[in-house]
């Protein structure tokens, strides 16, 4: 995955899933975390977003997806299943296989956002 695709994917997660916004007062391509307790800082340049390689960051996105789909359908059972080389989101159905568990999960999160949230 090239840097442009990584930046695009990380921006999708930050903006469309987690509700972060571009803070133009802080500089070009700087995102402000809407929840200031998110990690160490509240402002991140696009190249500092770590969803594509850090499990701690990626799991924040996975937790948000599970919460959203369970609230939307008001019943349990909808979830994100992460297995070796594979990630499945049960609603809407997304099934991604990749070379690593982390890569499959990242790609499934991006697919979910594109399917549900992109406008």
Considering only residues 41 and 111, tell me which one the structure prediction assigns the higher pLDDT.
111
Identify the structural domains of the chain with CATH numbers, from first to last.
Answer: 3-116 (3.30.2120)
Instruction: Tell me how far apart the alpha carbons of residues 43 and 109 are, in angstroms, rounded to a whole number.
Output: 22
Task: Inform me whether the pLDDT recorded for 24 exceeds 80.
Answer: no
Q: Please tell me whether residue 102 adopts helix, strand or coil conformation.
A: helix
Burial of 30 (0-12, 13-18, 19+ CB in 10 A): middle
Report the sign of the C-alpha dihedral through residues 18, 22, 25, 28, in that order: positive
What is the band of 72 on the pLDDT scale with cuts at 50, 70, 90? confident
What is the band of 76 on the pLDDT scale with cuts at 50, 70, 90? low
* Non-local CB neighbours of 18 within 8 Å, separated by 6+ positions: 33, 34, 35, 38, 60, 61, 64
The pTM of the full predicted model, rounded to 2 decimals, is: 0.86
Res 7: pLDDT: 92
What is the band of 98 on the pLDDT scale with cuts at 50, 70, 90? very high
Q: What are phi and psi of 6, to 5 degrees?
A: -65, -45
pLDDT digits (tens, 9 = 90+) for 35-48: 645 555 577 788 88
Mean pLDDT of the chain: 85
Q: Please tell me whether residue 40 adopts helix, strand or coil conformation.
A: coil
């Amino acid at each position: 995955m090239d840097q442009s695709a990584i930046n695009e994917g990380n921006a999708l997660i930050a903006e469309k899933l987690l509700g972060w916004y571009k803070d133009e007062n802080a500089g070009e391509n700087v995102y402000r975390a809407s929840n200031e307790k998110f990690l160490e800082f509240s402002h991140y340049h696009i190249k500092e977003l770590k969803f594509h390689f850090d499990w701690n960051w990626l799991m924040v996105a996975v937790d948000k997806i599970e919460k959203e789909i369970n609230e939307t359908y008001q019943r349990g059972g909808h979830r994100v299943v992460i297995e070796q080389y594979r990630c499945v989101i049960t609603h809407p159905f997304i099934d991604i296989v990749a070379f690593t568990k982390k890569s499959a999960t990242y790609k499934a999160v991006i697919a979910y956002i594109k399917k549900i949230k992109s406008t």
